Amino acid sequence: VQTGVFYNSNHYGYYLAMIIALAAALATAEKKKGSRIFYLIVFGFNVVILQFNRTLGAWVACLFALFFQIIIRYIVDRKKSIYAIVELCSYLAITGAVGLYDNYMIMSILSLFIDIKRVTMDSVHADDVGSARWKLWKITVQKTVKRPFLGYGVEGLYYEFGKDGSGGRSHCEYLQYASFFGIPAAVAYVVGCVQVFISGYRNRSRIDGVTIACLVAAFSYLVSATFGNTWFYT
Protein backbone atom coordinates (compact mmCIF):
# COMPACT_ATOMS: atom_id res chain seq x y z
CA VAL A 1 0.00 0.00 0.00
CA GLN A 2 2.68 2.49 0.98
CA THR A 3 4.71 2.02 -2.19
CA GLY A 4 1.99 1.03 -4.67
CA VAL A 5 -0.62 3.75 -4.07
CA PHE A 6 0.09 5.91 -1.02
CA TYR A 7 3.40 7.32 0.17
CA ASN A 8 2.51 6.76 3.80
CA SER A 9 0.11 4.61 5.80
CA ASN A 10 -1.44 7.75 7.31
CA HIS A 11 -2.39 8.92 3.82
CA TYR A 12 -4.16 5.61 3.30
CA GLY A 13 -5.89 6.32 6.59
CA TYR A 14 -7.37 9.55 5.17
CA TYR A 15 -8.84 7.49 2.34
CA LEU A 16 -10.23 4.90 4.75
CA ALA A 17 -11.80 7.65 6.86
CA MET A 18 -13.91 8.72 3.89
CA ILE A 19 -14.66 5.22 2.57
CA ILE A 20 -15.84 3.96 5.97
CA ALA A 21 -18.06 6.99 6.56
CA LEU A 22 -19.44 6.85 3.02
CA ALA A 23 -20.21 3.12 3.17
CA ALA A 24 -21.91 3.51 6.56
CA ALA A 25 -24.08 6.39 5.37
CA LEU A 26 -25.02 4.67 2.09
CA ALA A 27 -26.02 1.53 4.01
CA THR A 28 -28.27 3.65 6.21
CA ALA A 29 -29.82 5.41 3.21
CA GLU A 30 -30.24 2.33 1.02
CA LYS A 31 -33.71 0.83 0.62
CA LYS A 32 -32.74 -2.36 -1.21
CA LYS A 33 -31.68 -5.16 1.11
CA GLY A 34 -28.97 -6.52 -1.19
CA SER A 35 -27.34 -3.12 -1.68
CA ARG A 36 -27.51 -2.39 2.04
CA ILE A 37 -25.74 -5.67 2.82
CA PHE A 38 -23.06 -4.83 0.26
CA TYR A 39 -22.40 -1.42 1.84
CA LEU A 40 -22.31 -2.96 5.31
CA ILE A 41 -19.73 -5.50 4.14
CA VAL A 42 -17.62 -2.69 2.66
CA PHE A 43 -18.02 -0.78 5.92
CA GLY A 44 -17.00 -3.68 8.16
CA PHE A 45 -14.12 -4.80 5.97
CA ASN A 46 -12.55 -1.34 5.86
CA VAL A 47 -13.03 -0.83 9.60
CA VAL A 48 -10.93 -3.97 10.11
CA ILE A 49 -8.33 -2.68 7.65
CA LEU A 50 -8.21 0.63 9.50
CA GLN A 51 -7.25 -1.13 12.72
CA PHE A 52 -4.30 -2.86 11.04
CA ASN A 53 -3.36 0.36 9.25
CA ARG A 54 -2.85 1.90 12.71
CA THR A 55 -4.01 5.42 11.84
CA LEU A 56 -5.42 6.96 15.01
CA GLY A 57 -6.45 10.24 13.38
CA ALA A 58 -8.56 8.38 10.83
CA TRP A 59 -10.09 6.25 13.59
CA VAL A 60 -11.11 9.39 15.49
CA ALA A 61 -12.49 10.92 12.28
CA CYS A 62 -14.68 7.86 11.62
CA LEU A 63 -15.93 7.89 15.21
CA PHE A 64 -16.98 11.53 14.91
CA ALA A 65 -18.51 10.90 11.49
CA LEU A 66 -20.66 8.05 12.81
CA PHE A 67 -21.88 10.26 15.64
CA PHE A 68 -22.53 12.99 13.08
CA GLN A 69 -24.55 10.57 10.99
CA ILE A 70 -26.84 9.83 13.95
CA ILE A 71 -27.38 13.56 14.47
CA ILE A 72 -28.01 14.44 10.83
CA ARG A 73 -30.34 11.47 10.42
CA TYR A 74 -32.32 12.63 13.43
CA ILE A 75 -32.53 16.16 12.01
CA VAL A 76 -33.67 14.96 8.57
CA ASP A 77 -35.92 12.04 9.55
CA ARG A 78 -37.04 13.47 12.90
CA LYS A 79 -36.42 10.12 14.54
CA LYS A 80 -33.50 8.01 15.66
CA SER A 81 -31.85 5.90 12.96
CA ILE A 82 -31.41 2.35 14.23
CA TYR A 83 -29.01 1.56 11.39
CA ALA A 84 -26.79 4.54 12.22
CA ILE A 85 -26.71 3.57 15.91
CA VAL A 86 -25.93 -0.06 15.08
CA GLU A 87 -23.09 1.02 12.79
CA LEU A 88 -21.54 3.10 15.57
CA CYS A 89 -21.80 0.18 17.98
CA SER A 90 -20.36 -2.16 15.32
CA TYR A 91 -17.46 0.21 14.76
CA LEU A 92 -16.54 0.11 18.45
CA ALA A 93 -17.12 -3.64 18.60
CA ILE A 94 -14.84 -4.32 15.63
CA THR A 95 -12.18 -2.11 17.19
CA GLY A 96 -12.39 -4.15 20.39
CA ALA A 97 -12.42 -7.48 18.56
CA VAL A 98 -9.37 -6.67 16.44
CA GLY A 99 -7.72 -5.33 19.58
CA LEU A 100 -7.69 -8.86 20.98
CA TYR A 101 -5.36 -9.81 18.12
CA ASP A 102 -3.48 -6.53 17.64
CA ASN A 103 -3.86 -4.05 20.51
CA TYR A 104 -1.94 -1.20 18.85
CA MET A 105 -5.06 0.85 18.11
CA ILE A 106 -6.53 0.23 21.57
CA MET A 107 -3.31 1.39 23.19
CA SER A 108 -3.20 4.44 20.87
CA ILE A 109 -6.74 5.37 21.87
CA LEU A 110 -5.84 5.10 25.55
CA SER A 111 -2.68 7.16 25.01
CA LEU A 112 -4.80 9.84 23.36
CA PHE A 113 -6.46 10.61 26.69
CA ILE A 114 -3.04 10.74 28.35
CA ASP A 115 -1.81 13.11 25.65
CA ILE A 116 -4.80 15.42 26.17
CA LYS A 117 -4.02 15.52 29.88
CA ARG A 118 -0.38 16.35 29.18
CA VAL A 119 -1.29 19.20 26.86
CA THR A 120 -3.73 20.73 29.34
CA MET A 121 -1.62 20.26 32.46
CA ASP A 122 2.00 20.20 31.30
CA SER A 123 2.16 21.90 27.89
CA VAL A 124 5.85 22.77 28.32
CA HIS A 125 6.80 19.09 28.13
CA ALA A 126 4.11 18.03 25.66
CA ASP A 127 6.05 18.46 22.41
CA ASP A 128 6.01 14.75 21.62
CA VAL A 129 2.23 14.51 21.97
CA GLY A 130 0.54 13.09 18.88
CA SER A 131 3.77 11.83 17.32
CA ALA A 132 5.28 15.30 17.82
CA ARG A 133 2.28 17.02 16.21
CA TRP A 134 1.90 19.35 19.17
CA LYS A 135 5.42 20.66 18.55
CA LEU A 136 4.67 21.17 14.84
CA TRP A 137 1.41 22.98 15.66
CA LYS A 138 3.20 25.33 18.07
CA ILE A 139 5.86 26.13 15.48
CA THR A 140 3.19 26.78 12.85
CA VAL A 141 1.27 29.16 15.11
CA GLN A 142 4.43 30.98 16.20
CA LYS A 143 5.50 31.50 12.59
CA THR A 144 2.05 32.33 11.24
CA VAL A 145 1.41 35.17 13.69
CA LYS A 146 4.52 36.87 12.30
CA ARG A 147 3.02 36.89 8.80
CA PRO A 148 -0.71 36.58 9.47
CA PHE A 149 -2.17 38.07 6.29
CA LEU A 150 -0.29 36.47 3.39
CA GLY A 151 1.61 33.64 5.05
CA TYR A 152 4.82 32.12 3.72
CA GLY A 153 3.57 30.64 0.46
CA VAL A 154 3.25 26.99 -0.46
CA GLU A 155 5.79 24.94 1.52
CA GLY A 156 7.19 28.22 2.82
CA LEU A 157 8.01 26.71 6.21
CA TYR A 158 9.35 23.40 4.93
CA TYR A 159 12.92 24.00 6.04
CA GLU A 160 11.81 25.51 9.33
CA PHE A 161 9.94 22.31 10.13
CA GLY A 162 12.90 20.24 9.05
CA LYS A 163 15.13 22.22 11.39
CA ASP A 164 12.84 22.68 14.40
CA GLY A 165 9.98 20.24 14.07
CA SER A 166 11.35 17.07 12.48
CA GLY A 167 8.82 17.26 9.65
CA GLY A 168 7.98 19.16 6.49
CA ARG A 169 4.33 19.98 7.16
CA SER A 170 2.09 21.20 9.99
CA HIS A 171 0.13 17.93 10.17
CA CYS A 172 -3.03 20.02 10.50
CA GLU A 173 -4.65 21.13 7.26
CA TYR A 174 -6.16 24.26 8.78
CA LEU A 175 -2.88 25.47 10.27
CA GLN A 176 -1.18 24.51 7.03
CA TYR A 177 -3.45 26.83 5.02
CA ALA A 178 -2.90 29.62 7.54
CA SER A 179 0.88 29.30 7.22
CA PHE A 180 0.74 28.96 3.42
CA PHE A 181 -1.79 31.65 2.54
CA GLY A 182 -2.46 33.63 5.71
CA ILE A 183 -5.10 33.53 8.42
CA PRO A 184 -7.85 35.24 6.33
CA ALA A 185 -7.53 32.53 3.66
CA ALA A 186 -7.68 29.76 6.27
CA VAL A 187 -10.77 31.34 7.83
CA ALA A 188 -12.37 31.63 4.38
CA TYR A 189 -11.75 27.93 3.77
CA VAL A 190 -13.30 26.92 7.09
CA VAL A 191 -16.28 29.24 6.54
CA GLY A 192 -16.76 27.74 3.06
CA CYS A 193 -16.79 24.22 4.48
CA VAL A 194 -19.22 25.17 7.24
CA GLN A 195 -21.48 26.85 4.70
CA VAL A 196 -21.93 23.53 2.88
CA PHE A 197 -23.35 21.98 6.05
CA ILE A 198 -25.49 25.03 6.74
CA SER A 199 -26.91 24.71 3.24
CA GLY A 200 -27.66 21.06 3.93
CA TYR A 201 -29.48 22.00 7.11
CA ARG A 202 -31.54 24.66 5.35
CA ASN A 203 -32.56 22.12 2.70
CA ARG A 204 -33.12 19.27 5.17
CA SER A 205 -36.75 18.82 4.12
CA ARG A 206 -35.75 17.69 0.62
CA ILE A 207 -32.22 16.35 1.10
CA ASP A 208 -31.71 12.78 -0.17
CA GLY A 209 -29.77 9.86 1.24
CA VAL A 210 -26.84 10.13 -1.17
CA THR A 211 -26.34 13.81 -0.28
CA ILE A 212 -26.39 12.91 3.42
CA ALA A 213 -23.79 10.22 2.72
CA CYS A 214 -21.59 12.79 1.01
CA LEU A 215 -21.94 15.16 3.96
CA VAL A 216 -21.00 12.38 6.40
CA ALA A 217 -17.94 11.44 4.30
CA ALA A 218 -16.94 15.11 4.01
CA PHE A 219 -17.32 15.54 7.76
CA SER A 220 -15.04 12.54 8.31
CA TYR A 221 -12.41 14.08 6.06
CA LEU A 222 -12.63 17.46 7.77
CA VAL A 223 -12.02 15.82 11.15
CA SER A 224 -9.11 13.77 9.82
CA ALA A 225 -7.67 16.98 8.32
CA THR A 226 -7.11 18.23 11.87
CA PHE A 227 -4.31 15.67 12.15
CA GLY A 228 -3.16 15.44 8.56
CA ASN A 229 -1.78 17.12 5.46
CA THR A 230 -3.12 17.79 1.99
CA TRP A 231 -1.89 15.51 -0.78
CA PHE A 232 -2.67 15.25 -4.47
CA TYR A 233 -4.43 11.93 -3.91
CA THR A 234 -6.58 13.14 -1.04
Q: 110-137 pLDDT, tens per residue?
A: 887 777 766 666 666 666 665 678 888 8
Phi, psi of 233 (to 5 degrees): -100, 5
Among 194, 170, 197, CA closest to 181: 170
Average pLDDT of span 10-16: 90
Whole-number Cα distances in Å, 76 to 38, 83, 184, 210, 212? 24, 14, 33, 13, 9
Residues 169-190 pLDDT 10s: 888 999 999 999 999 999 999 9
This prediction has a pTM of 0.89
CB within 8 Å of 190: residues ≥ 6 apart: 174
Cα separation of the two ends of the chain? 15
Strand locations in 167-206 (E)? none
Q: Which residue has the higher pLDDT, 156 or 184?
A: 184
CA atoms within 13 A on the CB side of 108: 20
Among 4, 98, 97, CA closest to 53: 98
Is 45's pLDDT higher than 70? yes
